[in-house]
Amino acid sequence: MRNNVNKRLLGLKILQGLCNCCIQRHASVGVWFKRTLEKQIHYGGNPSKNSLVLISRKYTSTRPPWRVLFFGTDEFAVESLKMLSASRQSNDGVVKSLEVVTLSKDVAVKRFADLNKLPVHVWPLGDLQGRFDVGVVVSFGCLLREGLINQFPFGILNVHPSLLPRWRGPAPVFHTILHGDSVTGVTVMQIRPNRFDVGPILNQEVYQVPDNCTANELGVTLATKGAQLLIDTLRNLPERILNRREQAKDGATLAPKISTPMSWVLWEEQTCDQIDCLFRSIESRIPLRTIWMSKTIKLLEFAGKCNISLSGRTETPLPGSISYLKESNTLAVCCKDGWVGFKAVILNKKLSAADFYNGYLHQSVQKISHSPMQECLFHSNKDVTKPNSKVEDSLTKPQTVCYMS
Give the pLDDT score at 104.
Answer: 80
Q: What is the pLDDT of residue 5?
A: 46
> What is the per-residue pLDDT for 382?
65
Inter-residue contact 218 to 184 (CB < 8 Å): yes
- Considering only the C-alpha atoms of the chain, give the largest distance between any 2 of them, rounded to a whole number of Å: 102
Is the pLDDT at 401 greater than 90, yes or no?
A: no
The mean per-residue pLDDT over the stretch 191-218 comes to 97
Q: H helices then E strands: how many in the chain?
A: 14, 14
- How much is the pLDDT for 38? 52
User: CA-to-CA distance for 125 and 307, rounded, in angstroms?
Assistant: 58
> Which amino acid is present at 201?
I
CB 289 within 8 A of CB 333: no
Rounded Cα gap, residues 139 and 73, in angstroms? 6
pLDDT mean across residues, the chain? 83
Looking at residue 105, what is its pLDDT? 77
Residue 216 CB partners (closer than 8 Å, separation 6+) = 284
What letters, b where the CB count within 10 A reaches 16 and e where it falls short, cover 275-304? bbbbbbbbbeeebbbbbbeeeebbbbbbbe
Position 398 pLDDT exceeds 80: no
- 116 or 313, which is more confident: 116
Instruction: Say what the pLDDT of residue 36 is.
Output: 52
What percent of the chain has a predicted confidence (pLDDT) above 90?
67
Which amino acid is present at 35? R
Q: Note the pTM of the prediction, 2 decimals.
A: 0.80
pLDDT at 335: 96
**Cβ-based burial of 22 (10 A; exposed 0-12, middle 13-18, buried ≥19):** buried
Q: Is 90 exposed, middle or buried (0-12, 13-18, 19+ CB in 10 A)?
A: exposed
Q: Return the closest-CA partner of residue 230 out of 32, 71, 393.
A: 71
Average pLDDT over residues 222-231: 98
Phi–psi pair at 108, nearest 5 degrees: -60, -40
Query: 394 pLDDT exceeds 60?
Result: no
Distance, in Å, from the CA atom of 258 to the CA atom of 72, rounded to the nearest integer, reads 19
Where helices occur in 248-404 by DSSP H, the ranges are 272-282, 353-356, 362-368, 381-385, 389-396
> Lowest-confidence range among 84-93, 290-299, 316-325, 387-396?
387-396
pLDDT at 13: 43
Write out pLDDT tens, residues 73-129: 999 999 999 999 999 999 788 999 999 999 987 899 999 999 999 999 989 998 998
* Span 10-64, pLDDT tens digits: 444 444 444 444 443 344 455 545 555 554 444 444 544 444 433 443 444 689 9
pLDDT of residue 129: 87
φ, ψ at 265 (rounded to 5°) = -80, 130
Of the pLDDT bands very low, low, confident and very high (cuts 50, 70, 90), residue 4 is: low
Confidence of residue 308 (pLDDT cuts 50, 70, 90): confident
> Of 41-55, 114-128, 155-169, 236-250, which gets the smallest average pLDDT?
41-55
State which of 254-258, 371-375, 379-383 shows the largest mean pLDDT.
254-258
Of the ranges 168-172, 221-225, 368-372, which one carries the lowest mean pLDDT score? 368-372
